[in-house]
Amino acid sequence: MGSNVSGKAYALTILSPIKNAYVAGVACADTVRDQLENWNLLQNSPMARVPQTYLARLFVLDDVFTQSLPGAGALDTVSDFLPAVPDGIRRAALPTPDHLKSKYLVFSIDFHGELEPYLRGMWQAIAPEIQSVWQHCYGFDAVSDAEDFVAYMKKCQLTAALFFVGSNDDPLGEQLKALYLKQEFSRFALESQGLPTAELKKRYQEFIARVKPTDLTGPAWTPGQYALLKHSDARQEAAL
């Protein structure tokens, strides 16, 4: 009933079961998590190299949570309509502790395009990084090329019940070019305020020649750029 597709945007939800084993004295799940945390220490995320990726997140799901907060739902409180609640019913109304038998690597990506080309692109761009994280997952041993990877991911995939696109479903290159243009044009508009028309037109034409609005291979933001930019980093700021 649900769909992973909204226009040209795709919501990929992956749950990869992690082996219930250990490597060099560290549980597989913890190793996976540690590897992901290492990605946080890099200059830029490996996902920046995967084409058409808007946003992506990864985490290790250790277990589900047992509820203990008070509820307000009818099903939690329906027994209250009885004048006297037998103990069996009262206890049955409490949330049951529930547990996963395996830990899962959860991978949620919002990207532009179709699933298989995207996954192939991912494998081509960052296969070593993928392997370093997924090597401890069940069934990943059999993955040695892009096609294996696509097949493996499809087995781990879940379908979204509702995929909401708040921004748009343009190709990433379009979005990055557009953001670049927004930044540059707003600066241009500011700097050229009040100029006599002839001068304005001349500067505008120079501006267009510099930013090349229709050329996606021309100047634009790069994926994940400015990830670490802070006010104190004057050199990087100057490039903005």
Partner 1 sequence: MSNIAGKAYAINVITPLRWYLAWVNKIIFWVALKFPQYLKGLITLSLIHYARWVIIGRKQFPHLHPDQPKEDLKYGYMLFFSNFNGSWDQYIDSFTFSIPGGLDLFWKWSVRYPHSVALTPFHDYIRYNQVETNHYYSAYPLATSNDVKAARKLKAMLIDFDNKWHDAPDAEFQKHYNKLLLGLQHDLGDMRPTPIVSMAAAAVDKRRVRDLRKAAQHTVAAMEEM
Partner 2 sequence: MTKLQTASLDLFDIQGDIVRPYGRFGFPFARYVFFNIREGTRGRAFLTAILAKVTSAATWGIGPDPIPKPLATTNLAFTYQGLKNLELPRATLAGFPEEFAMGMKARKDILGDDGPSSPEYWDPIWRKSRDKNRDLDVHVLVSINGQSMAALEERYQWLLEAVAASDGGVVQLSGHRGHDGAENLPYQEGHALLEDGQLCTKEHFGYTDGIGDPYFAGLADASERVRGRGKQMDDGTWAPLATGEFLLGHIDEAHEYPAAPVPFLLSRNGTFMVYRKLHENVASFDGFLERESRNFSGSKALLKAKFVGRWADNGAPLTTAPDDKSKAEWDARFAQASDVEKDRMLSDFTYDDDMSGAKCPFSSHMRRINPRASLEFTQGDKPGAMVRSRGAFDTPGALVNRRRIIRRGMPYGEAKDRTSDRGNHGIVIMMLNADIGRQFEFVQQQWINYGNDFKASNDKEILLGNHDKEYPSRAVLPADPDGERAPYFLRNIPRLVETRGGDYFFIPSMTALRLIAKGLVDPT
Choose between 84 and 198: whose C-beta lies nearer to partner 1. 198
What is the distance between the alpha carbons of residues 213 and 181, in angstroms, rounded to a whole number?
A: 7
Positions touching partner 2 (CB under 8 A) are: 189-191, 193-194, 231, 234, 237
CB-based contacts of 52: which residues, under 8 Å, 6+ apart? Answer: 111, 112, 113, 118, 121, 171, 172
Residue 113 sits in the site that holds partner 1 (CB under 8 A): no
Give CA torsion, residues 136, 141, 147, 150, to 10 deg.
-30
> What's the closest the beta carbon of residue 75 comes to partner 1, in angstroms?
7
Residue 55 sits in the site that holds partner 1 (CB under 8 A): yes
Residue 217 sits in the site that holds partner 1 (CB under 8 A): no
In three-state secondary structure terms, 196 is coil
Residue 98 sits in the site that holds partner 1 (CB under 8 A): yes
- Tokens 């992506």 belong to 56
Q: Report residue 191: phi and psi, to 5°.
A: -70, -30
> What's the closest the beta carbon of residue 23 comes to partner 1, in angstroms?
15
In total, the chain counts a number of residues equal to 240
**194 contact choice in partner 2, partner 1, none (CB below 5 to 8 Å, kind-dependent):** partner 2
Residue 226 sits in the site that holds partner 1 (CB under 8 A): yes
Residue 59 sits in the site that holds partner 1 (CB under 8 A): yes
Choose between 37 and 87: whose C-beta lies nearer to partner 1. 37
What is the distance between the alpha carbons of residues 93 and 105, in angstroms, rounded to a whole number?
A: 32
Choose between 189 and 227: whose C-beta lies nearer to partner 2. 189
What is the distance between the alpha carbons of residues 51 and 173, in angstroms, rounded to a whole number?
A: 9
Choose between 145 and 191: whose C-beta lies nearer to partner 2. 191
- Piece of the chain touching partner 1 by CB under 8 A; list 23-31, 82-90, 94-102, 120-128: 94-102
